[in-house]
Amino acid sequence: MDYDKTDSQYIRNELKNFLDDSGKLKIYPAKRKQKILSLFYLASKFEKNKIYSQNEVNQILKNWHLFDDWAMLRRDLYDKFFFGRKPNGSAYWLEDNQPSLESFGYKRNCTN
């Protein structure tokens, strides 16, 4: 995913209480804004124009979170339009048009 350096720093700063020292998501935030930022963060761990099997997606998500619910994260990435997938779930990819903070009703400097 192509975040610019400012976006990446903003997201990491907003998630600082949810990331361990190695950058893994410790918990899935309860507040909507941090949850959405967590999805931006996790989506950034995938490559554009690459097709992933469900197992590959699961493994990448397992590598970037500590609360053992990769299936929920995978579903949320799909439901919030970060991922596309085949109807049978056998292949996943990053959508060409990734969501923006604005598409969720947030601006980078908002506090909601």
Q: Is 89 helix (H, G, I), strand (E, B) or coil?
A: coil
Structural domain includes residue 14: yes
Number of domains in the chain: 1
Question: What are the pLDDT digits (tens) for 60-104?
Answer: 999 999 999 999 999 999 999 999 999 999 999 999 999 998 899
Domain annotation covers residue 28: yes
Determine, yes or no, domain membership for 34: yes
Q: What does the chain come to in residues? A: 112
Task: Give the pairing type, strands 92-94 and 83-85.
Answer: antiparallel
110 located within any domain: no
For 4-37, what is each residue's pLDDT tens digit? 555 788 899 999 999 999 999 999 999 999 999 9
Residue 98 falls inside a structural domain: yes
- What is the DSSP track for 16-36? GGGB-TTS-B-S--SSHHHHH
Instruction: Give pTM, 2 decimals.
Output: 0.90
Beta strands in 1-112 (DSSP E): 83-85, 92-94
User: What's the domain range around 38?
Assistant: 5-104
pLDDT at 77: 98
> Is 55 part of any domain?
yes
